[in-house]
Amino acid sequence: MRRRLLWIPAAVLMIIGTLPASAAAQEKKARGTVMVLDGTAVTLEVSGSSTMTFAVDEQTTIEAPGAGTAMRRARSAGQRGVKLSEILKAGSAVEVSYIENNGIMQARLIRRFRSAGDGSPAAMNFHADAGR
């Protein structure tokens, strides 16, 4: 009987552990055109004249044609990685997956597209040479 009772609290803890900590920590997405970028942030124009600024760091992943090649080239030259400005340019159409924490939108993944489009596979170009 005692063994049966011990698994119930363990099961409850496992279920609670899989729930998101808060709505603020849930991943969100935004799509737009890069307006400004620097070493720590990227600003997008979304839906006309509205803008959003995302913090970027070493944990931010960039998916874009040529990004894999640029990363390998940088590492072979002894660098930790590539600069954001080597992969993205002002005017690039992107989708940003981010989390918002304490008012800061932290980019987790930035995908570059051919056009801002509707997100259909025809508009996406990030698979073209990401692995080359």
Residue 98 lies in a domain: yes
The confidence band for 20, taking pLDDT boundaries of 50, 70 and 90, is low
CA–CA separation, 48 vs 75, rounded Å? 38
| pLDDT score of 52 more than 90 | yes
pLDDT at residue 106 in the model: 97
CATH (domain of 101) = 2.40.50.320
Percentage of the chain beyond pLDDT 70 is 67
Whether residue 66 has pLDDT greater than 70: yes
Is 101 domain-assigned?
A: yes
Under a CB-based contact definition with an 8 Å cutoff, are residues 56 and 77 in contact? no
Per-residue pLDDT at 58: 87
Residue 6 is assigned to a structural domain of this protein: no
Share of the chain above pLDDT 90, in %: 48
In a domain, 120, yes or no: no
Tell me if 91 is assigned to some domain: yes
Q: Is residue 65 part of a domain?
A: yes
Give a yes or no: residue 21 inside a domain. Answer: no
Structural domains in the chain (count): 1
* Mean pLDDT calculated for residue range 56-73: 90
Per-residue confidence (pLDDT) for residue 113, from 0 to 100: 85
Kindly write down the DSSP assignment for every residue of 17-28, as one continuous string: HHS-S-GGGS-E
Residue 15 lies in a domain: no
Domain extent for 44: 27-113
How far, in Å, CA of 71 to CA of 57, rounded? Answer: 15
Q: Which residues contact 46 (CB under 8 A, 6 or more apart)?
A: 30, 31, 32, 52
Instruction: State the Cα–Cα distance between residues 79 and 130, nearest whole angstrom.
Output: 19
